[in-house]
Structure 1
Amino acid sequence: MPGPDPDVDSGTGKPDPIAAFLVMMAAERGAAANTLAAYAHDLRQAEMVIGPLASADRQDMKRLGAAWSQLASSSLARRISAMRQFYGFLMDEGMRADDPSRALPRPAVRRPLPSVLSVAEVDQLLGRAESEAAGGKAPAVRMLALLELLYGSGLRATELVSLPIIAVPRDAPFLSVTGKGGHSRMVPVGTRAQAALGRWLTLRPAGSRFVFPSRAGHLTRVRLYQLLKELATRAGLPPERVGPHVLRHAFASHLLAGGADLRVLQMLLGHADISTTQIYTHVDADRLVKLVNERHPLAAGVAVD
């Protein structure tokens, strides 16, 4: 006997609006699997509190807001965002004429900046990796290549560990990377990272389609985290301050401090929206003051303190 149709609301027998919304998010906006799962979870959780969302009204939204009042502000903001996008979809599709989600609370959430390593600390980490790789042993050379690519190219952990060997051109200093939502981009590889990657490719076990193979396919994100924290300990750095995301942020913030354009960083990091890049990176106040004093057309003779 066939099971229930996941695209049909079991209570009404009609097409499930949430399933239709998720299909749209995947097809039209290229939402990643993890994003779709988060939307599905948040919307189903809302239904458990107030019933079918397609027929909910403003009073239902107020009940939902009260039920969610104890959530962390970041979790509440995520759930409210899912609700607003869902009702926007219903209105676009002619399933509703109004948006009851406007009755939900509006938490003010500031996204915290990731932990930052200084240039000196990254150099300390790289110095340890280089000294260990000098012996030519495969694990140490692999560690150096991983570290150089994280800091030298700003790759996400998943992008790095799942990098296929065909993504590494023979004669071009670029990698072809598939990021979030299946979007591809070309990522430049600096001279140092190229040299470390070249050393690793001569030692890399044959027979795998991945740059960093393992018995199960490719190196896992969990193992990458472990390797970085172990290296940090050996380099004399607090292991809790070191991870793939921290090195990706160091790549971005250090480039920005060196004068890189924000639009260029957006492309390198693979951000769909530049507002993500603005939150993800940071510039210290001293550099901003110096920039105004040096570059503003009316700044001559009028210094900013």
Structure 2
Amino acid sequence: MTLPAARWVPLFLDAIAAERGAAANTLAAYARDLTHVAEWLAGRGRDFTDASRDDIESYLVDCDTEGLSRATRARRLSAIKQLYRFAFEESLREDNPAVQISGPGRDKRLPKTLTTEEVDRLLDAAEAHGRGPADRARNACLMQVLYATGMRVTELVSLPVSSARGDPRMLLVRGKGDKERMVPLSPPAREALTVWLDHRDGAEEAAQKTRGQPLSPFLFPSHGKAGHLTRHAFYMLIKEFAVEAGVSPAKVTPHTLRHAFATHLLANGADLRSIQTLLGHADVATTEIYTHVLQERLRELVMDHHPLAKD
């Protein structure tokens, strides 16, 4: 099957969207990385149809020379490998020039997390932050639900309001690859959800009566293109909460709350398999990083407080 190189990436993206249910952000990341590779090859008179193993390895060397991180180089090689695996399976090429190339690996950095005391201060700050009662109720709900469930930020901001009706004990979450999972709500999260729903529904009904706007299907609606609060808007909000809580904004992101959720569960006796299910990790190996976080904290505890550990 002969297909111009310019069609390879769109065809590949269509395939992973259909077969894996890849999210829009995932598709955009693949598109950026593969466009960069294609431009590099074009500068040398090559393209995906005739690139050799030497070409791909030279590209990775150039990425290293540019000072790109190990994680970025590993991600780009992964995109190349997946594109060529797809091309080989679809008979776009008779060989796979990337199959034997070893990557640089990823930096083994422990995820940043927060203490329970820092999380408490963030929750208090969110409850007090806002121009009025509705803003404060929304902010409290966002943070309580995020910490109670360990959801990814995209999962949180795009929650359908239907999932929150009826004072639920569990929320149905649609995660990566369009996979669904159930996550439990803590009593404070359920209370915050009830308060926010009262404000949200009142505002939605008023907008419908006065301006003829249709009711939003989202728990956290907005007037933007997405129809719901965006990841970026929540990212900026959580930085404001950190400032008001006296917690370094550099260590606070929506994903940090996800890490805190997992680390605190593990510290209080939860097993890895349960945490894996709650986080929606496909592989328990991804969840195992939190055991290293606890080990590092225990090491610091001994080094800071044991009398024989001091110089």
Distance in 1, matches of 2:282 and 2:272, equals: 13
**What is the match of residue 63 of structure 1?**
58
1:120 aligns with 2:113: no
**What is the match of residue 22 of structure 1?**
13
Instruction: State the aligned residue count.
Output: 276
Distance in 1, matches of 2:76 and 2:155, equals: 27
Distance in 2, matches of 1:286 and 1:111, equals: 13
SS in 2 for 1:187: strand
Deviation at 1:75, TM superposition (A): 1.3
| Structure 1 portions without partners, runs of 5+ | 1-6, 290-305
Distance in 2, matches of 1:9 and 1:98, equals: 16
Distance in 1, matches of 2:242 and 2:9, equals: 45
Q: Please tell me whether the aligned partners of residues 238 and 252 of structure 2 are also in contact (alpha carbons under 8 angstroms).
A: yes
Deviation at 1:197, TM superposition (A): 0.8
SS in 1 for 2:49: helix
**What is the match of residue 199 of structure 1?**
195
Cα distance per residue 1:200-248 (max 9 Å; x no partner): 1122222432222233332222222222222222222222222211111
SS in 2 for 1:53: coil
User: Which amino acid counterpart does residue 93 of structure 1 have in structure 2?
Assistant: E
Q: Percent identity?
A: 47
Q: Please tell me whether the aligned partners of residues 88 and 99 of structure 1 are also in contact (alpha carbons under 8 angstroms).
A: yes
Q: Please tell me whether the aligned partners of residues 266 and 274 of structure 1 are also in contact (alpha carbons under 8 angstroms).
A: yes
Deviation at 1:111, TM superposition (A): 4.2
Compare relative contact order (CA 8 Å, sep 6+) and give the higher one, 1 or 2. Answer: 2
SS in 2 for 1:38: helix
1:214 aligns with 2:222: yes
Distance in 1, matches of 2:118 and 2:24, equals: 35
Q: Please tell me whether the aligned partners of residues 252 and 265 of structure 1 are also in contact (alpha carbons under 8 angstroms).
A: yes
Q: Please tell me whether the aligned partners of residues 65 and 104 of structure 1 are also in contact (alpha carbons under 8 angstroms).
A: no
Distance in 2, matches of 1:106 and 1:21, equals: 21
Q: Alignment partner for residue 178 of structure 2, among 174, 177, 182?
A: 182
Q: How does 1:100-179 map to 2 (within 5 A)?
A: 100-102=97-99, 104=101, 106-130=103-127, 132=128, 137-179=133-175
Q: Please tell me whether the aligned partners of residues 141 and 189 of structure 2 are also in contact (alpha carbons under 8 angstroms).
A: yes
Q: Please tell me whether the aligned partners of residues 153 and 187 of structure 1 are also in contact (alpha carbons under 8 angstroms).
A: yes
Where in structure 1 do 4 or more consecutive aligned residues deviate above 6 Å? Answer: 286-289
Deviates more, 1:151-160 or 1:67-76: 67-76
Distance in 1, matches of 2:35 and 2:238, equals: 37
Q: Please tell me whether the aligned partners of residues 150 and 160 of structure 1 are also in contact (alpha carbons under 8 angstroms).
A: yes
**What is the match of residue 293 of structure 1?**
none
Cα distance per residue 1:74-130 (max 9 Å; x no partner): 111111111111222223234444332246453132242332110111122224445
